Structure 1
Amino acid sequence: MEKNYNKYLISICILSFVYASAQDLPRKIPKGLIFGAATSSYQVEGAWDADGKTQSILDYLYQNSLEQITDGSNGNVATNSYYLYERDVEMMRELGLDFYRFSLSWPRLLPYNYSERINPAGVNYYNNLMDEMLKYGIEPVVTLYHWDLPLELAQQGGWTNPQIVDWFSDFARTAFELFGDRVKYWITLNEPQVFCYYRHPGDDIYKCMKNSLLAHAKAYHIYDEEFRPTHNGAIFISLSTEFYEPVNSQDAEAAEDATNYHWGVFTNPIFSKDGDFPASMKEKLAAKSAKQGLSSSKLPDMSPEEIDFIKGTSDFFGINHYTTKYVYRNESENDYEVPSFYDDLGVQMYQPDSCQIGYSYLVCSVPWGFYKLLTKIREEFDNPPIFITENGFSTHGGLDDQDRIEYYKTYLCAMLDAIDEGSDVRAYTAWSLMDNFEWARGYIDRFGLYEVDYESEELTRTPRASAFMYQNVLRTRSIICGT
């Protein structure tokens, strides 16, 4: 008996050692999963008024609201990619990227918002960038709209004006005609909930949401009917998808409300079988509107024709994901401005100190939330193909960015866990290729795999430790997970 027990103990020890060692063995990247990095036009291009480009709403806002920017900066020069694109492509080659996601500047291509008056210099810039990338086998993933609306259109109501559907579709068609022969991945809108919230606060946010969906859908149908037959590409929308974890079982509804108001408002109309806005959101906003004495709901109705027009208009489930928040409901703690989007939502959110790594002001590290998000998408939307369009971590500069490495490794491993369980992830995009203008945080928070020296005349780009880590993942098609 004692002899057999000792054999049992030895077997357990051997198995434990093998399991522990396995945790440090490289995990293979699934075949066919592609990797890239991303930026956006306003955040990197600079040359804000060069070669015929007119002002965007971002040019205007950041030039006239310096007191609202942490370091008083703007994107007038940014990383000067308009002139330094060859170095940018060189960085893509150094990393071994399969693709690079960037956005088109609407006022750089159509300075006067007429498709008959295309700016040749703008076309030349994007042609040069794409051709340089394709020379080295790097696919362009092009975002049509990453928030730099022409100022003239913003002054006419922007995304709250129903005409935006036609304005945007004209711009989209122009881009398809100019670049569709080389672009196989198109993103219509980047994070519509975010630009609706910040540009159209109050009840106008819901008009913006509906118009965004219709504009996206119209651009999708234009590509699907007029360009896909010859160019054979894909077109989809990219959404900001935080994961919302209920504090306890009683808060499950609060977490679902947070999901619906932030991104379900877009995913339900596009990806669900029935379409339309989420039913619970419609019901709650109708009740809130009536309570506030409004004659109709803040959330506009969708006609049956509009529901059908929007449903199914995305070839991928595009997600930008950075972090997870805990959610609960407590009416006595509701200190939001009334009326407002967050008063309508009616939940509280927080992040524990335990998710804080490094000194990131913008990102708390919660890799299990990434796994849960991918699982939720698989289970609730019949496992659509997922294109991760942004994922990344900010630091305050420096080349030895171990916190960013920890973030990337744990999030990539969480993604692999979800893939192992059946989530159909097709692409992963690191945000960002290099440091850039980070909105209200200016140049303080740095997301780049490459550090940009803003003190140098050349805006020198230097790879961080995280760039070498990412390069190794792409080269070996593997990553070490576990402790």
Structure 2
Amino acid sequence: MKTNFLWGASTAANQVEGAWNENGKGVSVVDVLAQAEHFREETNGVLEGRYYSSHQAVDFYHHYEEDIAMMAEMGINSYRMSIAWTRIYPTGLEDEPNEAGLVFYDKIFDLLAKYNIEPIVTISHYEPPFELALRGGWSNRKMIDYYLKYCKTLFERYQDKVRYWLPFNEINCLFVPFGIMTAGGVFSSIHSPENTLQLRMQCLHHQFVASAKAVRLGKAIKPKFQFGCMIASMLNYPLTPNPEDVRLADKENLVKNMFCSDVMIRGEYPYYIEEYFVENQIQIQMEDEDKSVLKQGTVDFYSCSYYMSYCIGIDPNAKVVSGNLLTGLSNPYLVESEFGWQIDPKGLEIFLHRVYDRYGLPIMIVENGLGARDELVEGRVHDSYRIAYLREHIKALKNVISEGVDVIGYLPWSAIDLMALSTGTIDKRYGFIYVDVDNQGKGSFKRCRKDSFYWYHDVIASNGENLD
């Protein structure tokens, strides 16, 4: 790896911080998603008798000094995190930000600087203010102005502490009819007739415009800021050599994997999306300035999450497997994790070559990891399965870098255990650091280093040479 390679780890505020109503923080979209067995139950507010895992999460808010010290001990030089919008603007409607929220992140950034850890900040990670969600969320074009007010505050306050910004997390997940994604906070559940593809694509357009305007705003405040798109990469293979399957996979990869990055990097809607919009009766309402805004607010680098790949085909009887917010068809050449996610490091090579060939921009992997039911035994977690997964994906990164792809960072999910986005539980753990807490928020919250913690330390210390 390059000498300045970003070896890091990632988390998200709504999945680690807790302290959901402390020091002026307002209610976010995630704060009213009650824990549920298969998908998070949406409510019209916080109700008695329901459990909301985001309210306490793994209590990073009160453990951040310990947690960041442990991350530094592991050797990371970069940390991808998010800022909780409602710590800064509790309802999104305020004229002035919440100073206590700004001070909290000042402390985070100052501590990271102490340990020479570069922050990579996601501005919006699925948690807009609940009050704005009640006013339409991203289906309401006014959301752009609320978002830009929030961005301006962050850019001005942290201009000397943060260089890398990601305007939205996994922006292409608005294709997914999952409640928390829907309109970035329009409350219509997965079963609701209001949760339409038309609605989600209009919301996506508003996010495109918001991102482009944020880039322009940020560059005006600090020209050295670097902005990236963040895409949930969901590589699809054709199930068979049948040309129908091949064409279906091509179209799926373009629409689901490349459309959002095409807009954010090239600054315009690509030709192929017109057919998709016609087929799905989608009509995007744009204002006169939108096309020029998109063109002028393109990002500087490409970032993505990568966990698994799928197959896609026309066989109605093919086996379906699960994955990161989506399902696909089983690939007989791959093994699955205990949660049914297909493990495919070679797919990461394939995907990164496609991305770099298409854009020629630096690439960061800001999520990659294995969720598993870790067992704490005498203060240790022997997670050889996670080490094996990460080892093969780092080998894949080394391969593509040797072949000329400009990968500048690898920040696995996750630095510490956290509450799952989709279920609100902690059964499926990803962290290098174990947190003693269960699905109902009970436990000592003691932090323990897993075997993967020590393994990753040695990987970083050797700049990727020691993978044993």
Category of TM-score, reference length = shorter chain: 0.7 to 0.9
- Please show how residues 122-201 of structure 1 align to structure 2 within 5 Å: 122-195=101-174, 197=176, 198=178, 199-200=181-182, 201=195
The reply to whether residue 100 of structure 1 matches residue 79 of structure 2 is yes
Q: Work out which of the residue numbers 80, 83, 89 in structure 2 matches 1:110.
A: 89
* Whole-Å separation in 2 of the counterparts to 1:299 and 1:419: 40
* Whole-Å separation in 1 of the counterparts to 2:349 and 2:37: 38
> Given residue 315 of structure 1, which amino acid in structure 2 is its aligned partner?
D
TM-score, with structure 2 as normaliser: 0.85
- The change in CA–CA distance for 1:118 and 1:284 in structure 2 (over 3 A counts) is closer
Cα-to-partner distance string for 1:330-359 (whole Å, 9 max, x where unaligned):
5x679x9xxxxxxxxxx9931236533552
The reply to whether residue 300 of structure 1 matches residue 284 of structure 2 is yes
The reply to whether residue 46 of structure 1 matches residue 21 of structure 2 is no
* Whole-Å separation in 2 of the counterparts to 1:266 and 1:69: 26
* Whole-Å separation in 2 of the counterparts to 1:288 and 1:67: 27
The reply to whether residue 446 of structure 1 matches residue 441 of structure 2 is no
* Whole-Å separation in 2 of the counterparts to 1:314 and 1:328: 33
- The change in CA–CA distance for 1:93 and 1:34 in structure 2 (over 3 A counts) is same
Partner of residue 248, structure 1: 240
Displacement of 1:304: 7.8
* Whole-Å separation in 2 of the counterparts to 1:446 and 1:353: 26
* Whole-Å separation in 2 of the counterparts to 1:225 and 1:126: 22
Displacement of 1:188: 0.7
How many correspondences in the alignment? 426
Displacement of 1:86: 0.3
Q: Is the 8 Å Cα contact of residues 304 and 364 (structure 2) preserved in structure 1?
A: yes
Q: Which runs of 4+ in 1 moved over 4 A?
A: 65-73, 301-305, 455-458
Cα-to-partner distance string for 1:374-405 (whole Å, 9 max, x where unaligned):
01012222x21111111111111121111111
* Whole-Å separation in 2 of the counterparts to 1:303 and 1:195: 21
More helix by share: 1
**3-state SS, counterpart of residue 279 of structure 1:** coil
Displacement of 1:480: 5.1
* Whole-Å separation in 2 of the counterparts to 1:301 and 1:158: 16
- Please show how residues 30-69 of structure 1 align to structure 2 within 5 Å: 30-62=2-34, 68-69=39-40
Q: Is the 8 Å Cα contact of residues 409 and 479 (structure 1) preserved in structure 2?
A: no
Q: Is the 8 Å Cα contact of residues 357 and 403 (structure 1) preserved in structure 2?
A: no
* Whole-Å separation in 2 of the counterparts to 1:73 and 1:395: 22
Partner of residue 204, structure 2: 209
Partner of residue 388, structure 1: 365
- The change in CA–CA distance for 1:310 and 1:437 in structure 2 (over 3 A counts) is same
Q: Is the 8 Å Cα contact of residues 220 and 236 (structure 1) preserved in structure 2?
A: no
* Whole-Å separation in 2 of the counterparts to 1:353 and 1:317: 30
- The change in CA–CA distance for 1:267 and 1:68 in structure 2 (over 3 A counts) is closer
The reply to whether residue 419 of structure 1 matches residue 419 of structure 2 is no
> Given residue 443 of structure 1, which amino acid in structure 2 is its aligned partner?
I
* Whole-Å separation in 1 of the counterparts to 2:362 and 2:433: 29
Q: Is the 8 Å Cα contact of residues 229 and 261 (structure 2) preserved in structure 1?
A: no
Displacement of 1:38: 0.7
Partner of residue 354, structure 2: 376
Partner of residue 222, structure 1: 217
**3-state SS, counterpart of residue 267 of structure 1:** helix
Partner of residue 457, structure 2: 471
Q: Work out which of the residue numbers 323, 327, 334 in structure 1 matches 2:312.
A: 327
* Whole-Å separation in 1 of the counterparts to 2:81 and 2:276: 37
> Given residue 231 of structure 2, which amino acid in structure 1 is its aligned partner?
L
Displacement of 1:141: 1.3
Q: Is the 8 Å Cα contact of residues 165 and 212 (structure 1) preserved in structure 2?
A: yes
Structure 1, unmatched stretches of 5+, are: 1-28, 290-297, 337-346
Q: Is the 8 Å Cα contact of residues 174 and 200 (structure 2) preserved in structure 1?
A: no
The reply to whether residue 119 of structure 1 matches residue 98 of structure 2 is yes
The reply to whether residue 271 of structure 1 matches residue 265 of structure 2 is yes
Cα-to-partner distance string for 1:306-341 (whole Å, 9 max, x where unaligned):
3342236111111111111112235x679x9xxxxx
> Given residue 363 of structure 2, which amino acid in structure 1 is its aligned partner?
I
TM-score, with structure 1 as normaliser: 0.82
**3-state SS, counterpart of residue 34 of structure 2:** helix
Partner of residue 339, structure 1: none
Partner of residue 13, structure 1: none
Q: Is the 8 Å Cα contact of residues 366 and 410 (structure 2) preserved in structure 1?
A: yes
Q: Is the 8 Å Cα contact of residues 115 and 170 (structure 1) preserved in structure 2?
A: no
* Whole-Å separation in 2 of the counterparts to 1:195 and 1:333: 27
The reply to whether residue 367 of structure 1 matches residue 345 of structure 2 is yes
Cα-to-partner distance string for 1:44-98 (whole Å, 9 max, x where unaligned):
00001111111011101227x6784599662211111111110111111111111
Cα-to-partner distance string for 1:91-148 (whole Å, 9 max, x where unaligned):
1111111111111111111113246321121112111111111111111111110011
Displacement of 1:278: 3.1
* Whole-Å separation in 1 of the counterparts to 2:397 and 2:9: 16
**3-state SS, counterpart of residue 53 of structure 2:** coil
> Given residue 264 of structure 2, which amino acid in structure 1 is its aligned partner?
I
Q: Is the 8 Å Cα contact of residues 36 and 428 (structure 1) preserved in structure 2?
A: yes
- The change in CA–CA distance for 1:480 and 1:365 in structure 2 (over 3 A counts) is farther
Cα-to-partner distance string for 1:170-210 (whole Å, 9 max, x where unaligned):
11111111111111111111012225632323121111111
- The change in CA–CA distance for 1:358 and 1:261 in structure 2 (over 3 A counts) is closer
* Whole-Å separation in 1 of the counterparts to 2:299 and 2:334: 33
* Whole-Å separation in 1 of the counterparts to 2:414 and 2:53: 18
**3-state SS, counterpart of residue 128 of structure 2:** coil
* Whole-Å separation in 1 of the counterparts to 2:335 and 2:414: 20
Displacement of 1:452: 0.8
Q: Is the 8 Å Cα contact of residues 57 and 150 (structure 1) preserved in structure 2?
A: yes
How much is the aligned-residue C-alpha RMSD, in angstroms? 2.6
* Whole-Å separation in 2 of the counterparts to 1:247 and 1:277: 29
Q: Is the 8 Å Cα contact of residues 66 and 72 (structure 1) preserved in structure 2?
A: no
Q: Is the 8 Å Cα contact of residues 28 and 129 (structure 2) preserved in structure 1?
A: yes
Partner of residue 461, structure 1: 447
